[in-house]
Amino acid sequence: MLSQFKSILGLIATFVVFGIVSPAHPASYRFTTLDYPGASYTIASGINNSGQIVGYFHHVPSSPASGFLYNGGNYTTLIDPSAPYGVVAAGINNAGQIVGYYYDGDGFHSFLNSGGNYTAFNDPLTNTTVPYGGVTYAHGINNLSQVVGSYETTSTPALDSNANNVSHGFLRSGSTYTTIDDPLAVFQGADEGTVATGINDAGQIVGYYPDATNNFHAFLYTPGNGGSFITLDDPDAIGGRGAGFGTVATGINNAGQIVGYYTVSLPGTLVYHGFVYSGGSYTTVDDPQATILGPDFPNGTLAYGINDAGQIVGSYFDANGQHGFLAVQQPPLQVLPATNIAASGTLGELFSPTSFNYQLTSTSGSVNYSISGIPSWLNASFTSGTATPSPVTVTFSLINLGRLRPGTYTATIAFANTSTGNGNTTRTATLTVNPDAKADCKDGGWRNFTPPQDPLRTKVNVSAISRTGATVSRTSANS
């Protein structure tokens, strides 16, 4: 069953440490480990804009899952009276409504927890009976209380088994259920079908599906005009090796940022990397404490949920088990404009422009910065400080130009975020000094001086008085 694939990752008992996971494209995040007290396995699966986090934990691998709500540093166990074996909490919206699923002996059922009141629900199309009964998993909820997840069907209900069940994504809006199946999904046997995992307020839905070789592909579904599907494959993902390999999308926020995980393969070892997809680019999000545990074990980092502030929750593996995490992106230093410094002029005359302004900000909070690489012909109004969302302006002014010879001068000015390193950038400064008209006559250059030629020959009359008193005239030609 596709949707159980993520859950069983927390049920591994024995680990052998092989090394630290090296992310391919690390982002600048601050990671906080989330461990339910006394639990060996903690999975954080959803987060809202207030920073409330839901997930589930196991005290030992064979123990039933128990859901939790993490709020302000405190853990609260979620107890559904209809769930004798505990619950898996999967998503939470800004109103604090929580969705997930549980097993009661007759099947897997979804639940909605609103204000502490639990409501069970099942997609009416699920028809599996063996070995679990009906199967409906709720994975995500938006601020309109729309829920997405997956349900399972079989063509032979009386004889069905894990090998025959297939998954279908669903959207629950009020009491209406809509099937969400990616048209590229394969529906034949185990690990087949479509799983919907997250939804935002615009109704965009993310999830994943397998292809004919059981490789996973993430999808983004956008409603309207019959709806459209887009496949999302992290370019670093390695597929082509069967179930579990590929890209899985698990959550989406109202900015359209998508989180999930993808797989790479070391010799004999499957490794997971979390990712965030934003603006057409994939960025790897790996907890620095994740380790490679060895062949046949889950390794690395899985990202499950993202809120509108870009905060990400998920889990990572090390030698002690599985741990939840909260990743908060460190504020980057922003330097505007993006243009470089360029000035020119002639010796002894004015240069233009004579100064340049850059604004330094952070996207949130405050970061310290330094400015270096300033050439002798530029002066900066300051070279260090603290950037906040309110911009500060640094001015670079031309100086010491009389000491320069004609030519082109370049320098690279570095703006460094000394708090987090996020947003480090450079600007190129170029100064062009042109010679003046007499530059070649200076400093010994007279040897190369050629007087200008007059194309006109001018007659000059010179008059003088001879000793005899007579006037003598002489005409000469100058060239």
Q: Is residue 446 part of a domain?
A: no
Sort 298 into a burial class: Cβ within 10 Å, 0-12 / 13-18 / 19+.
buried
What pLDDT sits at residue 183?
A: 94
Kindly report, residue by residue over 100-118, the tens digit of the pLDDT: 999 998 899 999 999 999 9
Number of structural domains the chain divides into: 2
Kindly report, residue by residue over 296-320, the tens digit of the pLDDT: 667 899 999 999 999 999 999 998 8
> Would you tell me how many other CB atoms lie within 10 Å of the CB of residue 433?
18
Range of the domain at 308: 4-329
What pLDDT sits at residue 4?
A: 41
What pLDDT sits at residue 125?
A: 94
Say whether both 262 and 343 belong to one domain. no
Residue 5 is inside which H or E element, if any?
helix 4-7
* Per-residue model confidence as pLDDT tens for the chain (479 residues): 454 443 433 333 222 233 334 443 445 788 999 999 999 899 999 999 999 999 999 987 678 899 999 999 999 999 999 999 889 999 999 999 999 999 998 899 999 999 999 999 999 999 887 667 789 999 999 999 999 999 998 865 555 455 568 899 999 999 999 999 999 998 765 558 999 999 999 999 999 999 888 889 999 999 988 899 999 999 998 765 555 689 999 999 999 999 999 998 776 678 999 999 999 999 999 999 998 777 666 789 999 999 999 999 999 999 888 999 999 988 889 999 999 999 999 988 899 999 999 999 997 788 999 999 999 999 999 999 999 999 999 999 999 998 899 999 999 999 999 988 888 999 999 999 999 866 555 554 444 444 555 444 434 444 444 444 444 444 444 44
Q: Is 293 left (phi over 0), alpha (psi -120 to 50) or beta?
A: alpha
Sort 254 into a burial class: Cβ within 10 Å, 0-12 / 13-18 / 19+.
middle
Beta carbons within 8 Å of 293's beta carbon, 6+ residues apart: 15, 16, 17, 18, 299, 317, 318, 319
Say whether both 44 and 183 belong to one domain. yes
Query: Which 3 state secondary structure label does DSSP give 54?
Result: strand
Say whether both 237 and 340 belong to one domain. no
> Would you tell me how many other CB atoms lie within 10 Å of the CB of residue 338?
9
Kindly report the CATH number assigned to the domain that includes residue 19: 2.120.10.30
> Would you tell me how many other CB atoms lie within 10 Å of the CB of residue 330?
20
Say whether both 15 and 152 belong to one domain. yes
Say whether both 248 and 281 belong to one domain. yes
**Residue 451 DSSP label:** P
393 forms beta bridges with 359
What pLDDT sits at residue 282?
A: 95
Are 233 and 246 a contacting pair, CB within 8 Å? yes
Calculate the CA 50 to chain-centre distance: 21
Q: Is residue 467 part of a domain?
A: no
CA triple 25-31-33, angle to 5 deg: 130
Q: Is residue 475 part of a domain?
A: no
Say whether both 343 and 300 belong to one domain. no
Say whether both 203 and 308 belong to one domain. yes
461 forms beta bridges with 475
Task: Report the distance separating Cα 256 and Cα 391, nearest Å.
Answer: 27
State the pairing for strand pair 228-232/216-222: antiparallel
What pLDDT sits at residue 474?
A: 43
What pLDDT sits at residue 76?
A: 97
What pLDDT sits at residue 356?
A: 97
What pLDDT sits at residue 296?
A: 66
> Which string of DSSP letters, residue by residue, matches 315-354?
EEEETTEEEEEEEEEPPPEEEE--PPEEEEEETTS-EE--
Beta carbons within 8 Å of 25's beta carbon, 6+ residues apart: 236, 282, 283, 284
Say whether both 312 and 379 belong to one domain. no
Q: Is residue 459 part of a domain?
A: no
Encoded tokens for 91: 């998503």
Domain boundary among 308, 329, 350: 329
